[in-house]
Structure 1
Amino acid sequence: MTPDELVRLTALLRRSGTDLRDVEVKAAGGGLPKSVRDTLSAFSNDRGGTVILGLAEDDDFRPVPGFDAARVRDALASACSADLQPPVRSEIDIVPLEGALVVVAEISELDPRFKPCYVAARGEYNGSFTRGGDGDRRLTDFEIHLLHTNRGQPEDDRQPVPGATEADLDATEIQVLIARVRQRQPRAFANLGTEQVLRRLNVLAADQDGTLRPTLGGLLTLGVFPQQFFPQLNATLVVYPGASAQEIPVNGPRFLENRSFDGPIPVIVDEAVNAVLRNTSVRSFVDGSGRTDQYDYPAEVIREGIANALLHRDYSPYSRGTPVQIVVYSDRLVIANPGGLFGAVTEDDLGGEGVTSTRNPVLARLLQDVRSPETGRMVCENRASGIPTMLRELRRAGSPLPEFHNRITRFKLLLPRHTLLDDETTAWIASLGQQGLTTTQHLALAEMRLGRAVTNATMRNLGLEAHRATAELADLVNRGVAIRVGERRHARYLLVPRSEQLTLDIDSGTSPIEAVRRALADGSALSRRDIEQRSGLSYMKVLRALKYLEDAGEVTPTAQARSPLRRYRRKL
């Protein structure tokens, strides 16, 4: 982390008044705290994060007097390599801040194949942690079980269901399925009888006694009523009148609709999509092709979200008491399923073409060939296209990108209801005084304004190539409106506190950049402190303005970045 990045991050911490989810700050005045090991485990098991040692949270995140940066750095490096299993790989730097030195470590997320990372002295089940709010929380036995299953390929969907028989399957849908696979793959299925086809597709499998029974995947896709065997393997819908479950109108209903959807997955998807659409508003407008109706959420987006939740959820015995949950609020739609992302797929990968990994391969294979009773389409027509389809439809509708919240035991899709670039947001972006922003930078700033971190993946989901996404985010940082948190691969970009942005000062009509230009107008070489006194600007605003002017070629430094002799001179 560079000194400039640390300054920005410290300002953000001071504004927040506490640690951030992916930033942990400790004073470490007496040496390396033992609790740092918990944090190293938590960041490794989560999405990575930043550890800052040498700042006092209870003293407005100021440097700790007498902090021994070199000793703490060495102790941290030793803890990473010797006290955690598997060892934690991190980038550890000593960085200057406000006349002192602090230790900054960037912790990467551990490869899913090796999770959980745990404190060796406590053992796997007592020493494995994850992040919860701004602190560390010990992993439950269930969470550790899910991490273990993530190392291989679960087989819950191919297991025969005790007590179920072929009579529990829909005979009509079986014939439709067989006809389709024989047409699509004649070499594999054309000369097989019905029972052989169903066994090859893992719809039927022999139990320990040799009796053929429907598998869990077969029952969920072709069953007449799978909930006879698994009552909670369904979907539920709750529609609230307000923005939270507690926001109830005076003398009004607690919720507008509360129901569950049973049957096989194709039926659940159709019924749930229709129910969500009934509970959202529709706007009509006329264009060159005639009248068009537009829902708050595109129907295709809702369908893909619900289908993905049913396909990718955890079906292990631990989770069979939990349904897929669909909740409609006044300002958002939430679809949640038990079980987080599977395999090597991360939140940053979501939306990439061809990115897929499923814990339920039998179910995924069957849903490509099982039809929706309402439309006749296949439930999952093309694997790995679900989220790209959602992103495309949302961009077309001018809606915000979805939020993905991935935890070990739960995955949640959140769809905001509003338009991303409404009149208020557009006016706010204009007030920043930043000229030449691209359309995607406008969208990124709108996302940040909502309190959402923007990543390289966010920009790619807006339609940019990876290198262009990085360049546009870096430009927002250089302009002084965004701050980068985290190491390069896991970097997140947040909005800089308004008081520290390089925006127009309404009272004086001058931006910090222009104020620094004036301070250097006579051609003299000035220190940063001299420029603060001449311009009347804060330390951070001067630092950011100098960075902007230096990148623009208007200002030349006279010495290296950390030299006490460093001065700045404007090119005339």
Structure 2
Amino acid sequence: MNTVDLVARLRRLGTDLAQVEVKSAAGGLPKDVVESLSAFANGDGGVLLLGLSEADGFTLAPGFDAKSTRDALATACADQMEPPLRPSIDIEEFEGALIVRADIDEIDPVDKPCYVKTRGHHQGSFIRSGDGDRLLSAYEVAQLLANRTQPKHDLEPITDATVDDLDADLVDRLIRRARDRHPRTFRNLKTEEALARLNVLTHVDRQYVPTLAGIISLGSYPQQFLPQLFVAVVVSPGTEIGDQAPDGVRFLDNVTADGPIPDMVATVEETLRRNMRKAAVVKGLYREDRYDYPLDVIRELVVNAIMHRDYSPASRGMHVQIELYLDRLVVNSPGGLFGDVSARSLGTSEQRSSSRNAALAKLLADIPVDAHSNESIGENRGSGLPNAMRSLRQAGMSPARFDVSPGHVRVTVPGHALLGVDVTEWISDLGEADLTSTQDLALAMARVTGRVTNAMLQAWGVDRLAAGAALRDLVDRDLLVGTGGKRYASYQLGDRAFAMADRPAVASSGDTSATGTEGIAADLDAVEQAIAAGHVTARAIEVALGMNYRAVLRRLAKLIDAGRVQRIGQRHSSRQTYRLTKRDTK
């Protein structure tokens, strides 16, 4: 965002933003500016504006010397910070005077924390919190420093436990899987020797004892030795923790999922299943149950939280918590991201595979879900989250949001969906048992947004030719009617589908009178759907829609001007992203 627009927004809100810090610097460079530099570098980056007075409504600060302040800021970045920072620092003309703008990028995760040299790691490392800077806790600093080496907390011996504390059935499953997959390695090994090779057991004083990874994966009751390593599941009657139902109940369900990891995952799935709405869909000869949230997404998020959480001694009093609200599902786990994984890449094709708990990840990839399944608890390939995001798109749901700090990872899946339970039941009532998932999505889009186009389906990952075939078949079934020319064909619900809808389809968010042509309106709808499907950069939208890059930028500009899309991050940055405004989120 350019400086003029940024200041206009600050004035409108009357306060700093999480990614913007404003200082008057009328008496020279403020001493605490290094705290903001550290906070931005340790977080998602940000903008520092010097020469404006927040106390006076973000107006020009009298007596501000732009040149000397810029030079002092450059020196502070290079000499007072570790690692040194090299941000873009510019003097800009603003309302007849000069101010300084610095765009600070997030540093590489393996170089964190960025700290003030003279204060050291623990007193000089900061992070943004609200519109200010917060000193990182000792635990958060330790988490960032741990990123520089491979932790081995999952290999630590649990000396109070013995081999007899392992579940015999789970051990048998694991050993049989290992011998089937690697007969030369495991065929002639005794059970304890095989378990040691699989990092389930380790030697202590010439005796085998379970490792942390071994006891939490295969233990009969791991919480006997590690009481807080469980998963809590709470179901709220409202949209916040503490909301009460009319009868005063604060939790509709409150479950502690304990036991070994396979049991914890199963308990979480069962708890959420019984607290979600369900719709039955007939596909050919088969009946399929659909829930508010896809079950494979729930499983992936829960396994991911357990597998990648922090297991250092400082975190063993913390548990994974799952929260189901009326409007969202939230998964909280202790410990930040590990390695060079960034929050922006989570769930995308750019996400790198990096395991904080390498032994545990390998072990979960070897443990079968049950005695008769070839499926493992975890897949340990780095594709789990991208697959979960793909499942959300296929279900017509918005992508998950990731809130990451050095001390926690919070994943939020919004509850609104094109293919919600009500819409799914409506599609089932149409009596067309052989509809494809693409056709389900097209009908849902037509009902919820008022129309559907080929490009809108492409935004949710549907191939252009497959989208065209699906739409033509729906027209042949009298479920959709087409309007417009071949290039800008648009489809609305036919009379039969419309009559069976509980709620009539709303008008399209594309305003043809405002944009001038039906083609531009269709493009605007398609770009909105692309953002809703998780394609949040201009380049990603270009690839998803096959639209010219400059055309994508023009459509984004129109949507921003119309208040339908919001720009996130620094303008012209390679990390520039976009999101739908709450008012227009589909």
Settle same-fold status: TM greater than 0.5: yes
User: Compared with structure 1, are the counterparts of its residues 241 and 495 closer, same or farther at alpha carbon in structure 2 (3 Å cutoff)?
Assistant: closer
Following superposition, the deviation at residue 485 of structure 1 comes to 2.6
Q: Verify: 1:443 aligned to 2:443, yes or no.
A: no
CA contact 2:323–2:329 (8 Å) conserved in 1: yes
Which residue in 2 is equivalent to 1:388? Answer: 386
**Which of the numbers 478, 483, 505 marks the counterpart of 2:567?**
483
Structure 1 residue identity aligned to 2:557: V
Residues matched between the structures, number = 489
**More displaced stretch, 412-421 vs 213-222:** 412-421
User: Which position in structure 1 is the counterpart of 2:84?
Assistant: 87
Structure 2 vs 1, CA of residues 32 and 280 (structure 1 numbering), >3 Å: closer, same or farther?
same
Report if the CA contact (8 A) 2:362-2:380 is conserved: no
* 2:340 paired with 1:340: no
Alignment of 1:279 with 2:256, yes or no, is no
Determine whether 1:53 maps to 2:50.
yes
Measured at CA, do residues 480 and 396 of structure 1 come closer, stay the same or move farther in structure 2, by a change above 3 Å? Answer: closer
Tell whether the 8 Å contact from 2:27 to 2:63 is kept in structure 1 after alignment.
no
CA contact (8 A) 2:232 2:322 kept: yes
Q: Does structure 1 residue 362 correspond to structure 2 residue 362?
A: no
> Is residue 350 of structure 2 the alignment partner of residue 264 of structure 1?
no
Q: Which residue of 2 aligns with 1:318?
A: 314
Q: Is contact 2:535–2:544 with CA below 8 Å preserved after alignment? A: no
Match of 1:493 in 2: 578
Give a deviation string over 1:473-503, Cα, whole Å, max 9, x none: 57413664343532624334367999xxxxx
Distance 1:497 1:96 in 2: 33
TM-score (structure 2 length as normaliser): 0.77
Comparing 368-377 and 29-38, the one that deviates more = 368-377
Residue from 192, 216, 227 that aligns with 1:220: 216
2:36 aligns with: 39
Residue 221 of structure 1 deviates from its aligned partner by 1.0
Q: 1:233–1:418: structure 2 CA closer, same or farther, 3 Å change rule?
A: same
Q: Which of 111, 114, 119 is the equivalent residue of 2:116?
A: 119
Give CA deviations for 1:328-347 in whole Å, capped at 9, x if unaligned.
11111111010011110011
What is the distance in 1 between the residues matched to 2:322 and 2:381? 22
Match of 2:18 among 15, 21, 27: 21
Deviation for aligned residue 1:100: 2.5
**Offset from partner CA, 1:302-353 (integer Å, 9 cap, x none):** 0001010000000011111111101111111111010011110011111234
Indicate how the Cα distance of structure 1 residues 199 and 288 shifts in structure 2: closer, same or farther if over 3 A, else same: closer
2:242 maps to which residue?
A: 246
Alpha-carbon deviations, 1:524-559, whole Å to 9, x = none? xxxxxxxxxxxxxxxxxxxxxxxxxxxxxxxxxxxx
Q: What does residue 419 of structure 1 align with?
A: 417
Report the Cα distance in structure 2 between the residues aligned to 1:74 and 1:497, rounded to whole angstroms. Answer: 41
- How high is the sequence identity, in percent, across the aligned residues? 44
Tell me the SS of whatever aligns to 1:429. coil
Partner deviation per Cα, 1:226-266 (whole Å, 9 max, x = no partner): 01100110101111101112321332311101110111111
State how far apart, in whole Å, the 2-side matches of 1:250 and 1:18 are: 37
Q: Aligned-pair distance for 1:79?
A: 0.6
Q: Which residue of 2 aligns with 1:205?
A: 202
Give the SS at the match of 1:404. strand
Post-superposition shift, 1:80?
0.3
1:368 partner SS: helix
1:101 equivalent in structure 2: 98
Corresponding residue for 2:302?
306
Preserved contact between residue 158 and residue 211 of structure 2 (Cα < 8 Å): yes
Shift of 1:22: 1.2
Cα pair distance change 1:99/1:438, threshold 3 Å: same
Matches of 1:388 and 1:470, distance apart in 2 = 27
User: For residue 544 of structure 2, what is the aligned residue in structure 1?
Assistant: 464
- Counterpart of 2:509 (choices 421, 429, 438) is 429
Aligned pair in 2 of structure 1 residues 77, 195: CA closer, same or farther (>3 Å)?
Answer: same
Give a deviation string over 1:414-469, Cα, whole Å, max 9, x none: 0111126744997583359443425552136669xxxxx98439x84997399978
Query: Residue 441 of structure 1 contacts residue 473 of structure 1 at CA under 8 Å; is this kept in 2?
Result: no
Counterpart among 157, 160, 169 of residue 160 in structure 1: 157
Say if 1:483 and 1:496, in contact at 8 Å, map to a contact too: no
Residue 532 of structure 1: aligned partner: none
What is the CA–CA distance in structure 2 between the aligned matches of 1:495 and 1:96, rounded to whole Å? 31
Q: Return the alpha-carbon distance in structure 2 between the equivalents of residues 253 and 123 of structure 1.
A: 48
Secondary structure, counterpart of 1:47 in structure 2: coil
CA–CA distance in 2 between the matches of 1:155 and 1:410? Answer: 19
**Other structure's SS at 2:302 match:** helix
Mean alpha-carbon deviation: is it higher for 468-477 or for 402-411? 468-477
One-letter amino acid matched to 1:464: A
**1:466 and 1:235, CA in 2 relative to 1: closer, same or farther beyond 3 A?**
farther
Question: 2:404 — aligned with what?
Answer: 406
Shift of residue 355 of structure 1?
Answer: 2.2
**Structure 1, gaps ≥5 residues long:** 448-452, 499-572
What secondary structure, in the 3-state scheme, does the structure 2 residue paired with 1:52 have?
Answer: strand
Which amino acid in the other structure matches residue 23 of structure 1? V
The aligned counterpart of 1:528 is: none
Cα displacement string for residues 135-176 of structure 1 (whole angstroms, at most 9, x for unaligned residues): 000111111111111110110001111111111112222222
Per the alignment, residue 531 of structure 1 pairs with none
What secondary structure, in the 3-state scheme, does the structure 2 residue paired with 1:283 have?
strand
Structure-1 residue corresponding to 2:464: none
Given that 1:18 and 1:57 are in contact with CA atoms closer than 8 Å, whether structure 2 keeps it comes out as: yes
TM-score by length of 1: 0.79
| Distance in 1, Cα, partners of 2:286 & 2:274 | 23
Which structure 2 segments of 5+ residues have no match?
419-444, 451-504
Is the 8 Å Cα contact of residues 84 and 120 (structure 1) preserved in structure 2?
Answer: yes
Q: Contact (CA 8 Å) 2:29, 2:72: kept in 1 or not?
A: yes
Residue deviations 1:81-128, cap 9 Å, x none?
A: 111122112111122223332211111112222221111222222111
- Counterpart amino acid of residue 414 in structure 1: T
Separation in 1, partners of 2:372, 2:32: 55
> How far, CA to CA, are the matches of 1:471 and 1:158 in structure 2?
53
Rounded Cα–Cα distance in structure 2 between residues aligned with 1:200 and 1:253: 49
